[in-house]
Amino acid sequence: MTKKKKSFPGRQSDRIRQILAGLDHTFPDAQCALKHSNPLELLIATILSAQCTDARVNLVTQDLFRKYRAPQDYLRVPQEELETDIRSTGFFHNKAKSIRGASAMIVERFGGSVPASMEELLRLPGVARKTANVVLGVAYGKAEGIVVDTHVLRVSRRLDLSNSQAPENIERDLMQIIPRNRWISFSHQMILHGRTICKARKPLCPVCPLEKICESEDKCSR
């Protein structure tokens, strides 16, 4: 559906305040849904979550993280064995390649620990800004950017927070209008909002906390 974009020059900061308040009210405890107990597990789970539900990833990592406890463990097995272990998350060949490539670099260049800077994380194979933002925000409490997944992308466009289609441009737009001390919680809240209310096919607008300030053409009244 083609959307007619609008601008809100004078109202922008008011709208942002209302959006943040609405998200706070509805999702006060929004957190990363990927189960993990350390930065390495979060990194692996985030790589596996591409084109896959968090529920499926959590199911797979239950056994995976018992078998693979350190980055070296992912390198000890043949790639085919890792592929079998993660097969049900889809795209298992590329994901296994990314996991082994990232593990090798973590061992060889980062002393066995997942790096804690954007620049270093982006050097890991298979890691782009979305994954790096998840790891930095959730595992290290660092607000270096905003996670833009499929939900954040859709909701940001519906709320006119960005006109772009490209995740990196949407992230740049969001970083300009969302206060930095909210970047981490905003990411989790937007993902949850998109997953539970502002759904792709049929958004639940009548129960949406942002309904009054949303002018999306995707809005529905019932």
Interacting residues with ligand SF4 (CB under 6 A): 158-159, 197-198, 203-205, 208, 210-211, 214, 216, 218-219
Report the residue number, 39 or 203, with the smaller CB distance to ligand SF4: 203
- Between 143 and 198, CB nearer to ligand SF4: 198
70 versus 208: smaller Cβ distance to ligand SF4: 208
Closest contact distance (angstroms) between CB of 33 and ligand SF4 is 19
Q: Which of 85, 95, 130, 160 is catalytic?
A: 130
Catalytic residue (one of 85, 95, 149, 160): 149
Specify whether the CB–CB gap between 72 and 102 falls below 8 A.
no
Alpha-carbon span 75 to 82, nearest angstrom: 9
User: Which sign does the torsion angle of CA 13, 18, 23, 29 carry?
Assistant: positive
The SS3 of residue 147 is coil
Residue type, position 90, single letter: G
Q: Are 102 and 47 contacting, i.e. CB atoms less than 8 angstroms apart?
A: yes
Residue pair 132/115 in contact by the 8 Å Cβ criterion? no
* Nearer Cβ to ligand SF4 (21/204): 204
130 is catalytic: yes
Which of 82/214 has CB closer to ligand SF4?
214
Minimal distance, residue 160 CB to ligand SF4, in Å: 10
**Token pair recorded at residue 105:** 């670099």
Q: In the complex, what is the shortest distance from the CB of residue 3 to ligand SF4, in angstroms, rounded to a whole number?
A: 11
DSSP string for residues in 88-125: GGS-HHHHHHHHHHHHHHHHHHSTTS---SHHHHTTST
Measured from the CB of residue 138, what is the shortest distance to ligand SF4 in angstroms? 24
| Minimum gap (Å) between residue 18 Cβ and ligand SF4 | 12
Query: Is 149 a residue of the active site?
Result: yes
Dihedral sign (CA 56, 125, 200, 25): positive
Q: Positive or negative, the Cα torsion across 62, 66, 69, 72?
A: negative
Q: Which residues are catalytic?
A: 130, 149
